[in-house]
Amino acid sequence: MTLTVALAGNPNCGKTTLFNALTGARHHVGNWPGVTVERRSGTFEHGGTTMEVVDLPGTYSLAARSEDERVAVHFLASPEVDLVLNVLDASNLERNLYLSTQLLELGKPVAFVLNMVDDAENRGVRIDVPALELLLGGPIIPTVGNREQGINELKELLGTMARGESNRCRSITVDYGHDIEGELAKLQKEICRDEQLEASMPPRWLALQLLENNVEAKRVVSESHACEAITQQLARSFAFLEPHLGADGATLVAERRYGFAHGLVKEVASAPDDKKSPTAKLDALLTHRVLGIPIFIGVLALMYSLSFVLGKIPQDWIADAFKALSTFTAARLPAGELTSLLVDGVIPGVSAVIVFVPVIMILMGCIAFLEDTGYMARAAFIMDRLMHVMGLHGKSFIPLIMGSGCNVPAIQAARTIESPQDRLITMLVTPLVSCSARLQVFIVIAGTFFTPIKAAFAIIAMHFLGLGLAVLMGRLLRSALFSGPSSPFVMELPPYRLPMLKATLIHMWEKGSIFLTRAGTTIFAGATLVWFLSRYPGIANREWTLEYQQQRHAIAALNLPVVESEERLKAAQLAHESRIVNSSLAARLGQKVEPILRPILDPDHKRAEAWKDVIALTAGFVAKEIVVSTMAVIHQASEEPKEGERLSPLQVALRDGSGLTPLTALAFMVFTLIYTPCIGTIAMIRREAGSWRWAAFTVGYGLVLGWGLAWVTVALGRAMGFA
Amino acid sequence: MTQNLPIPLSLLQPGDQGEVVLVQAKGQVRQRLLEMGFIRGARLRVEKLAPLGDPMELVIKGYHLSLRREESSCILVQPVAG
C-alpha cells in the first residue's frame, strides 16, 4: 500500500531539508504537468507502509494566482493526496499559520511540523506545543530539520495517520464571525446545487475563495450550471458585507485568518526578546548603504571564478580526454564515413554535452548556497533598482552576469526568479550576453584585422554591446509580451541560515543529472546534425578517401624525420577535410544564403568566397568556439601560430585570402555575437521555458537582430569613411 | 512624530513605525499584500532602504520584507511614535 503525503509550507521554512531528511537520497525530480515548476517526490517506508512524499512549491497562500500556487492547490485538492504535512517555521509562526488556515479548509487530514525550534528559542520565543496542537486540531512534531531531530517520530506519526489510526486529528477551521459565516453558508448552499462542483472541492473552500474575489474560483464557477445562482448570491453577500464590516471581501477574509493566527501565537508563544538578532547584525553590513554593493560584487566575483576559473580545470580535462579519444580513434580506424561519424560527430557531440557538467554543478551549487543562506534575497534587494529599470527583477542580475562565462548554466540559474514572466524574459535575453566561447572567435578575428590595442577595444565593445542589447531587449520584450502590470516585488528577506552541505550536494547532483538527461540529448542530436551538414556528400566520396589514403602512404614511404612527416600528414588531412567541407551541404547552404548576408559581410560584392563564412557560422551553432576550428578547415590553415609569429596561419589566410576588411570583420563579430545561441543554450531554454516555441523565438530574433546590427555597423562605418 | 492623517508607506523613513490603514492596490498585488500581513491595524517598522534608494526593507508580523516604491506607495499607514 502506498500513501501520498503532500509537503506544504511557506518558502524558506526548511521544507526541502525536511524532505531530504524524510526520503534520503531516494527521490525523483520532474516537472508538474504542463508547467515549468519542479516536482520533487520521494518515498520512505515505515511499519510496512510505503509513503510517497511530494514536495509542493513553497507558497505563502493557496490563492491560485501564481503558477506555484495553482500547482499546489490543484494537487492538494486531488484525491491522490491522503495526508497534508504543513511545515511551520517556529521563528516566524504568525505568517506561516496563514497558509495553515487555508490548508485546514481543504478537508484533508493535516499534520504539522514545527521546524527551526532552535532558531525561535535563540530569539527568546518559547512555544507551548501541546497547546498549539489543541488549537490547530492536528498533531504537531517539533523538529530541527538540519539536525534530523524528530524525523523518526514524524515518520511514525505519518504512518499512523495515513492508516487512519491517529486520534489526534480534529477538524478545526477559522471562525470568520457571525456575518461572514452566514454569507458563507448561503454561498455553500448555492454551490451544492451543482453536485459535480460540490465534489470537485470543499464547498466552503470555494465559497471563501469567491468572497476573496479569486479569479480562478470565478472561472471554475462560470463553468457550472449553477453559475447564475452563485454569482447572484455572491453579489448579495458583497452588498451586505462591505458596508456592514467596512472592507471588501478579500480584506475581511485575510483579516480573520490573521486574527486566528495572531490569537494562536499570543496563546502559545512567548514574545521575542529585543536583542539584536544575528541576521540584523549581518544585514547591517551586507545590505549597508555604501558597503552593500561592493560586497555583492565581491561575492559575484568569487562565484564567477569558482564556476568559470576553477570549473574550467575539469572542463579542460574532459575536452582533452575526448580530443585524445578522437585522435586515438582516427589513427586506428580507416578513413571513411563511419570513422568520421565517430571522430567528428559522436565523440565531439558527447564531449559538447559533458563539458558543461562541471560548470553547471559548481554554479548551481553556488546559487543553491546563496539561496539557502538567505543572501540571494539580499542580492536581489541590492540590485533591484537597477534591474527594474530594465524591466526585470533583482534576481535577474546574477544569471545575466554569469552569462558572460557561459549562457547554458546562466539560463538554468534564472530558476531562482519566482515570477514566470521575469524568468522567461531573463532567459530570452541572457543569450545576448557574450560568453567565453564567443570570446575565442573575437580574439582570432579582432587579432587578425586590428592592431592589438584596437582589437582589445573591439572585444570589450562586443561585451558591452551584448549587455546593452540584453537591457534593451528586456524592456522591449516586457512591453511586447506582457502588457499587464509586472508581478509585484514583495520579497521576504529570510533570516540568515547556514545551509547543510548535504543539501547543497544533492542539489548540485540533481542539476547536473537533469542537464545530462534533458538537455544532453538535444545537444547531441544538434551536434550530429551539424556534422552531417558539414561532411556530406564529400565524406562518402570513395575516390577522395582513396586519394587521401594514398597520400598518407606516400608520405609514410618517404621516411622523413618524424616532425616533418607529421607536419605533412597534418597538411594532407587538412586538405582532405577542406575539400569535403567546402563541397558539403553547409557550403551549398552558404551559396544559397550568401545574397542575404552580402550587405553585411560583402557590401562591395568583391568576395568570391563569402559563402564560406556561412559554413563556419553553421558549425558555430553547436558551440561558438567551433567557428574558429571550422575556419581553419575551410581555409586550410592551422589555427595554432608558429613560434615567434603573432598571427597564426589561419589569421594570415583570413587577412590575405578571405576578402574581409576591418569593417566587415567587425560586422562579422557583431553577427557572431547575436546571430543564434549555441545548441546547448537552445536546449536549456527549451527545457526551462517548457516549449520549443521560446527556443525557436530566441533563434529567430537573434538572426534578425544580428543581421540588423551588422548592417548598421557596415553602414555607419562606411558613412564614417572606413572600409 | 504625531500625525492624524494616514500617509503612504513610501513616505516613512528608516526607523519609523506605522499601522496599516488601507491597502489601495488592486488585483494581484492587493491580494499578495493582504496575505503577507498588510491588514488593518498591522504594525510595521521601516528598516532601511536599498543602497540605490529602492526597494525598502520593513518588518511586519515579525519578519522582514522588501517592497518597491510602486507597492509601498499604495499602502496607507498611520505613523506611530516608536
> Which of A279, A287, A490 shows the shortest C-beta gap to B36?
A490
The three cell numbers locating residue A265: 501565537
For residue B36, the chain A residues in CB contact (below 8 A) are 60, 95, 490, 492
Contact B48 A287 (CB under 8 A): yes
Chain B's closest residue to A491, CA to CA, is: B66
> Which of A65, A385, A494 shows the shortest C-beta gap to B52?
A385
Domain assignments of chain A as residue spans, ordered by start:
2-162, 178-268, 292-489
> Which of B25, B33, B64 shows the shortest C-beta gap to A492?
B64
Cα–Cα distance, A438 to A459 (Å, whole number)? 10
What's the pLDDT score for residue B5? 86
Say if CB A160 and CB A293 are below 8 A apart. Answer: no
Contact B37 A98 (CB under 8 A): yes
Say whether the ipTM exceeds 0.90.
yes
Contact B34 A251 (CB under 8 A): yes
Say if CB A106 and CB A202 are below 8 A apart. Answer: yes
The three cell numbers locating residue A112: 504539522
Backbone angles phi, psi at A4, to 5 degrees: -105, 130
For residue B24, the chain A residues in CB contact (below 8 A) are none
Report the amino acid identity of residue A10.
Answer: N
- B35 φψ region: left (φ > 0), alpha (ψ -120 to 50), beta (else): alpha
Contact B68 A384 (CB under 8 A): yes
> Which of A254, A382, A385 shows the shortest C-beta gap to B35?
A254
In the block, cell 521576504 appears at: A492
Q: Is A376 helix (H, G, I), strand (E, B) or coil?
A: helix
Strand order, beta sheet including A2-9: A27-31, A38-46, A49-55, A2-9, A83-89, A110-115, A140-142
Q: What is the per-residue pLDDT across A596-613, written as a single tens digit (0 to 9) for each?
A: 888 888 888 887 778 888
Q: Please, what CATH class does the domain formed by A178-268 belong to?
A: mainly alpha
> Which of B51, B63, B65 shows the shortest C-beta gap to A289?
B51
What's the pLDDT score for residue B1? 47
The three cell numbers locating residue A697: 523565438
Chain B within 8 Å of A61 (Cβ-Cβ)?
Answer: yes
Cα–Cα distance, A401 to A363 (Å, whole number)? 12
Q: What is the mean pLDDT of each run of 10 residues along chain A (723 residues)?
A: 90 87 79 76 87 92 83 89 93 94 91 89 89 91 78 88 75 88 94 90 92 90 92 95 91 94 92 82 92 93 88 90 89 81 83 84 88 90 88 86 87 84 91 89 90 90 92 88 71 89 84 80 82 84 86 85 84 86 86 85 81 85 84 79 80 85 92 91 90 93 94 91 74
For residue B25, the chain A residues in CB contact (below 8 A) are 488
Contact B66 A388 (CB under 8 A): no
What's the pLDDT score for residue A146? 66
CA-based nearest distance A360→chain B, Å:
30
Mutate to test the interface with B, among A73, A258, A281 (most CBs of B within 10 A): A258
Going by DSSP bridges, is the β-strand pair B56-60/B63-67 parallel, antiparallel, or unpaired? antiparallel
What's the pLDDT score for residue A25? 67
CA angle A146, A152, A154 (to 5 degrees): 85
Per-residue H/E/C for A184-241: HHHHHHHHCCCHHHHHHCCHHHHHHHHHCCCHHHHHHHHCCCCHHHHHHHHHHHHHHH
Contact A388 B23 (CB under 8 A): no
Chain B within 8 Å of A218 (Cβ-Cβ)?
Answer: no
CA-based nearest distance A500→chain B, Å:
23
Beta bridge partners of A2: A50
CA-based nearest distance A292→chain B, Å:
7
> Which of B30, B55, B61 shows the shortest C-beta gap to A250?
B30
**Is B1 inside any structural domain?**
no
For residue A272, the chain B residues in CB contact (below 8 A) are 62
Q: Which residues contact A156 (CB under 8 A, 6 or more apart)?
A: A46, A47
> Which of A94, A250, A381 shows the shortest C-beta gap to B62?
A94
In this structure, which topology does domain A2-162 adopt according to CATH? Rossmann fold (3.40.50)
- In this prediction, residue B82 has a pLDDT band, given cuts at 50, 70 and 90, of low
Contact A258 B50 (CB under 8 A): no
CA-based nearest distance B75→chain A, Å:
13
Q: Is A310 helix (H, G, I), strand (E, B) or coil?
A: helix
The structural domain count of chain B equals 1
For residue A287, the chain B residues in CB contact (below 8 A) are 48, 50-51, 57
**Is B2 inside any structural domain?**
no
User: Which segments of A104-147 does DSSP mark as H helices, in order?
Assistant: 117-122, 129-136
> Residue A18 burial (CB < 10 Å; 0-12/13-18/19+)?
buried
What's the pLDDT score for residue A723? 67
> Residue A240 burial (CB < 10 Å; 0-12/13-18/19+)?
middle
CATH code, domain carrying B28? 2.30.30.90
For residue A292, the chain B residues in CB contact (below 8 A) are 50-51
Residues of B with CB under 8 A from a CB of A: 23, 25, 27-37, 39-40, 42, 48-55, 57, 61-68, 70-71
Mutate to test the interface with A, among B24, B64, B73, B75 (most CBs of A within 10 A): B64
Range of the domain at B16: 7-80
> Residue A516 burial (CB < 10 Å; 0-12/13-18/19+)?
middle
- In this prediction, residue B40 has a pLDDT band, given cuts at 50, 70 and 90, of very high
> Which of B25, B29, B51 shows the shortest C-beta gap to A382?
B51
What's the pLDDT score for residue A484? 62
**Is B44 inside any structural domain?**
yes
Q: Is A647 helix (H, G, I), strand (E, B) or coil?
A: coil
Say if CB A617 and CB A675 are below 8 A apart. Answer: yes
Contact B62 A385 (CB under 8 A): no
What's the pLDDT score for residue A490? 86
For residue B39, the chain A residues in CB contact (below 8 A) are 251, 254-255, 258
Q: What is the per-residue pLDDT across B48-66, written as a single tens digit (0 to 9) for each?
A: 999 999 899 999 998 999 9
CA-based nearest distance A123→chain B, Å:
11
What's the pLDDT score for residue A34? 67
